[in-house]
Amino acid sequence: MSTLASVIIRDVTSARPAAGIAGRLFFATDTSKTWRDNGTSWDDVSSGGAGSNVISSIVLSSAAPSFSFTGIPGTFRDLVLRIDGRGDVSATAVIIAITFNGDSGANYDEVGHYANTGWNQSTANAITGGVFAGNLATMPAATAAANYSGGIEFRVFNYAGTTFYKRGTWFGAYLNGSVSTANFYETAGGFFWRNTAAITSITASTASGNFAAGSSAVLYGM
């Protein structure tokens, strides 16, 4: 008689047993992926949106200056990075910077827009230090209204390709200051990283201070 533990297994990916018992499920605790044994091999049946898989998820138990994702597999077409949280710097809002493969050189270009009562544009070329979401604040910080967080999503197209420069888009929303319609913002834009290398690591950091405890980041493969 099968036990629940024998048909639904939880362990790190490296400990997944050989396939051979059709219908078994394996949940990888290190990647949050779910696999189903078809009798001869394991099928990835992870959920996380249409065609998406969680590569890694981080929730901060204490303040930290950055989120870092390394060893990104080249098995997907696109990458999506979603960040939710707030900064701890003494300001109403803080900017988030994204770098690829540890490159902080002047190799990033971007165009961004932000809006609350109207649209405004910010364009920058040969940026040193990463994609700064149009140099626009993207999440509330310590002096913004309490308990509000900001969310932003970055998408990188064909991240594992080696022919073209990397490019992508972002969008997000945040509260800048006290609770009023004049202080709610949304942002959107696009960026280039002038490098043809496959992306194997991504770091998201605050332009000043830290991400506050409870902030989170999830990296998906699409």
Does one domain contain both 91 and 166? yes
- Residue 1's pLDDT band, with cuts at 50, 70 and 90, is very low
pLDDT reported for residue 75 = 83
Does one domain contain both 209 and 155? yes
pLDDT reported for residue 193 = 94
3-state secondary structure of 155: strand
pLDDT tens by residue, 17-29: 998 888 788 888 7
Q: Sheet containing 96-100: give its strands across.
A: 66-69, 202-206, 96-100
Does one domain contain both 60 and 166? yes
pLDDT reported for residue 148 = 93
Lowest pLDDT segment from 12-26, 59-73, 128-142, 176-190? 128-142
**CA-CA distances (angstroms) from residue 62 to 66, 84, 177, 218?**
12, 15, 23, 17
Q: How, if at all, do strands 93-94 and 139-140 pair?
A: antiparallel
- Average pLDDT of the chain is 85
pLDDT higher than threshold 60 for residue 135: no
Stretch 162-169: mean pLDDT, rounded? 95
Q: Can you give the CATH number for the domain in which 88 is found?
A: 2.60.120
Does one domain contain both 32 and 84? no
Tell me the C-alpha distance between 109 and 190, whole Å: 9
Beta bridge partners of 172: 152, 187
Does one domain contain both 142 and 183? yes
pLDDT higher than threshold 50 for residue 5: no
pLDDT higher than threshold 80 for residue 4: no
What whole-number percentage of the chain has pLDDT above 70? Answer: 89
Does one domain contain both 200 and 162? yes
pLDDT reported for residue 137 = 58
pLDDT reported for residue 121 = 76
pLDDT tens by residue, 98-122: 999 999 899 998 888 877 777 777 7
**Residues 204, 156 contacting (CB under 8 angstroms):** no
3, exposed or middle or buried, with CB in 10 Å at 0-12, 13-18, 19+? exposed
Does one domain contain both 19 and 94? no
Q: Which helix (H) or strand (E) holds 4?
A: helix 4-7
Domain that holds residue 13: 4-44
Our count of domains for the chain comes to 2
